[in-house]
């Protein structure tokens, strides 16, 4: 009897040790991959001008509410989201009081979709447009934590609370080095509104988008909220050159720049043998432009030979046009083969009608991704499969040992029962 108890205890200890060997690395890996939750605050202009009916036959406020409903439904679970308003509560004419009118409608944190939607549904266009004070408060709302932080400002007019310049506020936020990005969207904006919202976005490496339709507003806000969940694609401000030789060298990431009418912008990317370059560019018309336009993205060698190109054209009412390309560099038998410098040229054919400012240039977003080509991808997949076979083999071994020991125990129990 004592021998049987000792054997059972030994089996339990063996199985526990094997289980610990399998589970502990998994837990450690989970801890290593866990990341701080990204934070996003949507800042909505609820000033009186949002009553204007010029977005697909409805008011600007109705378009914003519809966009918020759709975006809240699609917000990733790991994103902590909040909503702040400006101009939503004070109806009077006292400028001093009107410029204090910013409030947090929904706190930044785990999202209760029903609660957030209910809060948005109660909003009615009311008062002033204190963009600067709202940005300051929004930065405080997002304070703390090591995850990515993003403000998405939606407004249909310029700030009415000068001399607190919202561009200066954005620059102050950027100067703090807290990694907070401000993206701005202008609802049917005039030239002053475009200039101000572009300035705010540029100060923090964010993007500005002009919106004329409900679907555009929904799609863009949803894109920005999802972007916050992926720190790899946080835009970085860069400045392309007029020729490849003096162009900045870019690594994988998302970049923002401006391209003037009729101007080419050049960038460089190093691609090693066996790697593949994937690049795309989007150019936005943040002001009135002539109806026919196009965008070109070319990959060329440093000597000017074209490798591959992507191009797109439009004549409709879109506010952005995009294209992309892929360039796989063949593998080399020489392990010390140097990387190839690929020059990327961005050009667009937007043109401005008479009376429209040609400066600053149109905003562009350039995505660069250098990944392992098919050969390297196969090696990585094989390595991953090998690790899977090791795990499967370990599990089989544990099952075999447990089965043998359990068989011995069963035989001993039968033998002891017969002797008794």
Which residue in this structure is represented by tokens 């300035």? 199
Convert 6-65 into a string of H (helix), E (strand) and C (coil).
Answer: HHHHHHHHHHHHHHHHHHHHHHHHHHHHCCCCCEEEEEEECCHHHHCEEECCEEHHHHHH
| Rg of the chain, C-alpha, whole Å | 29
Q: Judge residue 352's burial from the number of C-beta atoms within 10 Å of its C-beta, 0-12 exposed, 13-18 middle, 19 or more buried.
A: middle
Other Cβ atoms closer than 10 A to 333: 6
Provide the CATH number for the domain formed by 39-233 in this structure: 3.40.50.410
Q: Mean pLDDT for each consecutive 10-residue tract of the chain (420 residues)?
A: 46 46 42 68 94 93 94 91 93 88 94 93 91 94 86 93 88 83 91 89 85 90 84 74 95 90 94 92 83 91 94 71 89 85 95 83 89 54 43 65 69 62
Query: Which string of DSSP letters, residue by residue, matches 207-229?
Result: -EEEE-SHHHHHHHHHHHHHHHT
Angle between helices 214-228 and 60-74 (to 10 degrees): 40
pLDDT score recorded for residue 1: 45
pLDDT score recorded for residue 27: 43
pLDDT score recorded for residue 95: 85
User: In whole angstroms, what is the distance from residue 142 CA to residue 180 CA?
Assistant: 9
CA dist 356 → 157, 188, 285, 289, 351 (Å): 18, 16, 12, 8, 10
Q: Where do runs of H (alpha helix) occur along 176-256?
A: 191-203, 214-228
Peptide linkage before 360 cis (omega within 30 of 0)? yes
User: In whole angstroms, what is the distance from residue 178 CA to residue 116 CA?
Assistant: 27
Provide the CATH number for the domain formed by 236-372 in this structure: 2.60.120.380
Give the DSSP H/E element, type plus range, for residue 363. strand 362-372
User: In whole angstroms, what is the distance from residue 295 CA to residue 312 CA?
Assistant: 6
Bridge partners of 292, per DSSP, are none
Bridge partners of 102, per DSSP, are 86
User: In whole angstroms, what is the distance from residue 11 CA to residue 114 CA?
Assistant: 52
Contacts of 190 (CB under 8 A, 6+ apart): 157
Pick from 364, 347, 321: which is nearest to 266 by CA? 347
CA dist 84 → 81, 88, 134, 140 (Å): 10, 10, 8, 11
User: In whole angstroms, what is the distance from residue 395 CA to residue 204 CA?
Assistant: 51
Q: Judge residue 108's burial from the number of C-beta atoms within 10 Å of its C-beta, 0-12 exposed, 13-18 middle, 19 or more buried.
A: buried
| Dihedral (Cα; 203, 205, 211, 217), 10-degree rounding | -130
| Strand blocks (E) in 73-196 | 80-86, 102-109, 149-155, 180-187
Q: Where are the domains of the chain?
A: 39-233, 236-372
pLDDT score recorded for residue 373: 66
pTM (2 d.p.) = 0.55
User: In whole angstroms, what is the distance from residue 153 CA to residue 85 CA?
Assistant: 10
């Amino acid at each position: 009897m004592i021998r049987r108890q000792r054997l059972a205890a030994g089996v339990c200890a063996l199985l526990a040790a094997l289980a610990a060997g399998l589970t502990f690395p998994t837990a450690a890996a989970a801890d290593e991959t866990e990341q701080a939750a990204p934070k996003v605050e949507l800042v909505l202009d609820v000033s009186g001008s949002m009553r204007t009916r010029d977005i697909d036959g409805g008011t600007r406020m109705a378009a914003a509410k519809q966009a918020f409903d759709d975006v809240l439904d699609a917000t990733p679970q790991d994103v902590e989201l909040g909503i702040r308003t400006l101009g939503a509560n004070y109806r009077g004419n006292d400028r001093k009081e009107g410029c204090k009118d910013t409030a947090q409608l929904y706190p930044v944190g785990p999202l209760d979709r029903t609660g957030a939607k209910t809060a948005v549904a109660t909003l009615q266009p009311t008062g002033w447009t204190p963009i600067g004070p709202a940005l300051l408060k929004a930065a405080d709302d997002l304070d703390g934590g090591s995850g990515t932080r993003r403000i998405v400002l939606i407004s249909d007019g310029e700030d009415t609370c000068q001399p607190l310049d919202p561009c200066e506020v954005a620059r102050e936020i950027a100067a703090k080095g807290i990694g907070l990005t401000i993206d701005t969207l202008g609802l049917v904006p005039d030239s002053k509104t475009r200039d101000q919202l572009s300035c705010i976005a540029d100060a923090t490496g964010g993007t500005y988008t002009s919106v004329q339709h409900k679907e555009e507003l929904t799609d863009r806000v949803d894109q920005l909220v999802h972007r916050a969940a992926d720190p790899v694609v946080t835009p970085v401000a860069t400045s392309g050159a007029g020729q490849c030789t003096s162009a900045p060298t870019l690594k994988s990431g998302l970049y923002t720049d401006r391209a003037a009418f009729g101007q080419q912008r050049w960038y460089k990317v190093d691609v090693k043998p066996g790697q593949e370059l994937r690049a795309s560019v989007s150019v936005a018309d943040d002001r009135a432009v002539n109806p026919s336009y196009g965008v070109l993205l070319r990959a060329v060698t440093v000597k000017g030979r074209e490798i591959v190109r992507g191009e797109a054209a439009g004549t409709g009412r879109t506010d952005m046009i995009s294209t992309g390309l892929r360039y796989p560099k063949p593998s080399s038998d020489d392990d010390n083969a140097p990387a190839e410098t690929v020059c990327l040229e961005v050009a667009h054919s937007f043109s401005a009608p008479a009376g429209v400012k040609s400066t600053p240039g149109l905003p562009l977003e350039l995505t660069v991704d250098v990944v392992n080509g098919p050969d390297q991808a196969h090696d990585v997949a094989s390595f991953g499969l090998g690790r899977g076979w090791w795990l499967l083999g370990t599990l089989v071994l544990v099952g075999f040992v447990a089965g043998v020991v359990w068989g011995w125990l069963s035989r001993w129990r039968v033998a002891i029962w017969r002797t008794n």
